[in-house]
Amino acid sequence: MSNFVLTRIQRNTGFITLDRPKALNSLSLEMIRAITQTLLAWKDDDNVHQVVIHGSHERAFCAGGDIRFFYDVGTTTPMGDSALLEDFFTEEYALNYLIHHYPKPYISLLNGVVMGGGMGVAQAGPNNRLRIVTERTKMAMPEVNIGLFPDVGGGYFLSRCAGELGTYLGLTGEIITAADAIYPDLADVFIPSEQLPALITFIEAFSGNDLRNALREFALPYQHQLAASQLAANHAAIDKHFAHNSVAEVIASLKQDSSDFAQQAVKVMLTRSPLLMCVTLEQLRRGKNLSVADCLRMERTMVRHCFKHGEVLEGVRALVVDKDGQPKWNPPTLAGVSAELVDGFFAEVWPAYAHPLRELK
């Protein structure tokens, strides 16, 4: 088990607490294994009727995978081909699959930062989830900012957002708050953070049959506190501009729109990795027609190619290591991104019988 993952059972509810506040609860391989081990143990435990996962500190639920670990391992081994790196992504994606198909109610308290890998442990399947956000929630799939793509099942849950909302979130990596998380069905209900202690007390004392419904009722008095959704306000524009099947066309469309929203989207996208924006767009288009298992298998293949190419290492260097904010993207512009280069990120690495996630159904 991990010192950064705390577990307990209180009156038929299993609590998983992510407790690595200095790193905003970023996931290490040890933490992924601890969460997996706990969920597997509780899966067939009749004393556990539902699972609640949350962070120990108001700043973050989970900021994602430990990207500094990615950089340290990826820069000290040939082409990032490290057993530890391989294990991290294989086991993280297997955990995402386990959560999506978990047979018991899975409730995530998404207070503070919820990004990348944090989304992967928050987005359970529609039949078992309840995702609670607060006014502190800062949600994003910001991978294109570090030369990666929205993984951990992002190809599945982003591609199923209404219209092109998921495409917008994947290509820009923009941060959204509570109302904008609920609008595209990336969260379910809002509760003010000041009510979280009362919420935990309520859960600890719960002895009924439907905790998720009880929590919806608990949250009902606070829904009027939600601000208006900016995604809702800009939904028509997002559908218009992000419906194109090339990033160049998306940006060209946005440039013709003088609204503050469109111009901000252009500004942000021009700072992202041109290559990984193109890869992300292809990932989301393919993901629409794939199951969770097939999306995760596709992403496991993509991540191998991503580290081999090196774009993610440069992105992490610029953002986290040297902190110069000046990544040297390769290619540096969209004009240099060919269809062949993008297709290479989807080329099979393993035969089907040897794929690390071959057992996912």
- The total of structural domains in the chain comes to 1
Of 92, 151, 299, 314, catalytic: 151
pTM for this model (two decimals):
0.96
Of 55, 64, 65, 80, catalytic: 65
* 151 catalytically annotated: yes
Of 55, 112, 116, 117, catalytic: 117
pLDDT > 80? residue 141 = yes
Of 92, 143, 174, 311, catalytic: 143
Q: What is the mean pLDDT of residues 224-236?
A: 96
**Per this entry, what is the length of the chain?**
361
Q: What is the mean pLDDT of residues 106-118?
A: 98
Is residue 359 in a domain?
no
Is residue 344 in a domain?
yes
Distance from C-alpha of 256 to C-alpha of 67, rounded to nearest angstrom: 36
* 86 catalytically annotated: no
Q: What is the mean pLDDT of residues 63-88?
A: 81
- Which structural domain, as residue segments, surrounds residue 311? 5-354
Predicted local confidence at residue 129, as pLDDT: 97
Distance from C-alpha of 44 to C-alpha of 47, rounded to nearest angstrom: 9
Going by pLDDT thresholds of 50, 70 and 90, the confidence category of residue 73 is: confident
Nearest to 171 by CA among 24, 272, 44: 272
Q: What is the mean pLDDT of residues 127-151?
A: 97
* 336 catalytically annotated: no
Query: What string of DSSP letters covers 177-202?
Result: -HHHHHTTTS--EE--GGGHHHHHHH
Q: What is the amino acid identity at position 52? A: V
Is residue 277 in a domain?
yes
Q: What is the mean pLDDT of residues 269-286?
A: 98
pLDDT > 80? residue 328 = yes
* CATH number assigned to the domain comprising residue 142: 3.90.226.10
* 143 catalytically annotated: yes
